Amino acid sequence: MKRYRNIIVGAILCVVLAAGYFGSTRGHAEPLSQPQGQQTESTMRTVQVSGSGEVQVTPDSAVISLGVQTEADTAQAALNDNNTKVQAVLDGLKKSIPSNNIQTQTLRLSPRYETKDNNQTLAGYTATNIVEVRTDKLDSLGSLIDQAVKDGANTIENINFEVSDPEKWSDQARETAMQNARHKAEQLAKLTGATLGPVLEIQETSQTPGPVMRSLAPAAEAAVPVSPGSQSVSVDVQVTWTLVVKGEQ
């Protein structure tokens, strides 16, 4: 009996020692260290500024939509008359414009109706032929339109002015925008006793010129005054720099 009592006491003692051991182990667990990269990000000083650049550009090319509209009692007569007059206009244009810069835009033949005493009757047909003319000779654009009218063009729809190389002007505006942003950032850094470090991030929004349409007055015998005006190319940037402070490098 005494032998069994000693065995039980010994078992209880082992359990108590084991519990104390594991409790001691959990109580001395080492804390996880913070990754060095996270520490760097949390203590990094930055400055974020915006900059803008704008360039005014004069368009260097134009696309004109002009043509001939004719009317006749029959569809064939309206179309034949239109073909003859359009050909005369094209012949005149080709004297100063390369053929590959002239393209048919619209060719339309439609009936015309008249209403009398609430009755609609066929009055004839209308034929329309509109061509697109592209030119970079803006100084003689008015004379070109005037000559087309003299050659038989009686429909001038619109004129679009374009910039042939918008990326060139976007590059210039972008440089100005970055210079503007750096100037602001350097001033802010100096006011806080720091200098600029590497760039962390750049975001850009830009506006490049598209075709600008000008409406023209109905064709007349006088030369048409045409002015291309100017277009704006703009770039906005938002730049983030690190700030470097002496003694914290």
pLDDT tens, N- to C-terminus, the chain (249 residues): 444 444 444 444 343 334 444 444 333 333 334 444 443 544 689 999 999 999 999 999 999 999 999 999 999 999 999 999 999 999 999 999 999 999 999 999 999 999 988 888 999 999 999 999 999 999 889 999 999 999 999 999 989 999 988 899 999 999 999 999 999 999 999 999 999 999 999 999 998 766 555 444 444 445 566 778 888 999 999 999 999 987 665
What are the domain boundaries of the chain? Answer: 42-57+166-210+230-244, 61-162
Distance CA 236, CA 238 (A): 7
Residues across the chain? 249
Q: What is the DSSP string of 199-236?
A: EEEEEEEEE----EEE--PPP-SSPPP-----EEEEEE
> Count of alpha carbons within 13 Å of 49, Cβ hemisphere only?
21
Find all residues with CB under 8 Å of 100, minimum gap 6, and list them. Answer: none
Instruction: Determine the CATH number of domain 42-57+166-210+230-244.
Output: 3.30.110.170
Model pLDDT, residue 11: 43
Instruction: Determine the CATH number of domain 61-162.
Output: 3.30.70.2970
Find all residues with CB under 8 Å of 135, minimum gap 6, and list them. Answer: 61, 62, 64, 96, 97, 101, 141, 144
